[in-house]
Chains A and B, each alone.
Chain A
Amino acid sequence: MSTSEPTAEAVFNNPFGTRITPDEVIDTISFFDDWEERYRYIIDLGKQLPEFPQSLKNEELLVRGCQSQVWLLAREDQPNSIVQLAVDSDALIVRGLAAIVLAAYNGKSSRDILAFDIEHYFDQIDLLKHLSPTRGNGLRSMVKKIQLHAENMSR
């Protein structure tokens, strides 16, 4: 389990799961009818994730199976027993997709994380249809990593 250093506090400061909810993402994406607006929105979502300091862009936090590099950090907020998530990537679109995943999971309890139907979520935003299997795999391995964190925390 990775725990954050005090200097890394800022990376958890993102609006996903709180101000930006899965429903909002679904509504906004389905509103767009052309690819340009959809991709601009996804990239803009990614820009709302604070960048990781170099020290956090390490092997341990790296998500396997992504074509570009994705780093994921998770911690448990003890008194409330919720999972806080931070993510960064060196690619803009993947960063946006990771933000969309965070909208579903960040600030939730382990129980809520494990109960969330992520496939249904992806279907609703038509997300994986636009992704090649390799890109979809990267996103899925990020989801797996979050679910694993949640399982470990609920023990």
Chain B
Amino acid sequence: MRKFIIKRILLSIIIFFFVMLIIYTLMRCLPTSYIENVARAKSQQPGSKSYEEWMAQLTAMYNMDKGILMGFFGWLGDFMRGNFGDSWYYTIPVVEEFHNTIWISFIMGLITMFFEVVIAIPLGIIAATKQYSKADYTISVVALAGISLPTFFFASLLKLLFSVKLGWFDLFGLVGRNYEQLSAVGKFLDKANHLFLPCLTLVVISIGSLMRYTRTNMLEVLNSDYIRTARAKGLSEHKVIYHHAFRNTMIPLVTIIGGSLPGLFSGALITETLFSIPGIGYASYHAMVGGDIPFSMFYLAFIAILTLAGNLISDILYAVVDPRVRIA
């Protein structure tokens, strides 16, 4: 087991190395005029450094004067040492901006994931146990509709309905206008109020895939021999489904949910941007559009690490949860 984990971690490191090499190369291949434009725009901001200084900082920071490979090793060295540089867009160290934004994204992710699991798994099981019934068709179509919903369209509809017509929530932002005057409880409620629509959007668009996944796996299990055996020996349908079948369905579910745990930190780029929630997704969107290379590189590396961690966790969980899986 330990050998397997170590092997997987080493493999992940190699993959990370190449992923970042590709991303770095792409960033370097952006025409230099783009960098110059960024530097020019930066230097024209009030109280900013001069154009030459920005150019010097830019080229030095990204080792633009060196070749791509040497420049990449320079960047990787800095990254490994925890030296992520200063964000150009936010004009503070990248780590600081990351620290400012990550927690709200994490909380949103956690809320979303909780509701996703609580809603999707029972519905998926119902759909599977009553295959070809009206309930099954409804759940399947709703799940597919959730997958097919464009985030931005659904968010706009919610805004129109709840913010404009009913006036229950604000259109944008994490805190209301009178946030500073509120008591501690009021502040909490205010934030909760502003997080409702974004979380609802995320739950609805992400619920479908987990629901379908549950249904497919439950169907697979229900068709297996040991379920027939359980039925044959006269167990109640309730016991068959929730005792024998559900436990086996849990195996793939646990792996996929475990694998998506690191994703809680990745932030919801589109949703946060639509609702102007100052999370990591929103921050990185503006950094990326604003040509903020240090922050973008950091964010891309962060997401790559999260993806690798997710794959690693689901592989390990698969081996841990399923006693049939034996690792050589």
Bound pair: A and B?
A: no
Chain B residues with CB under 8 Å of chain A are none
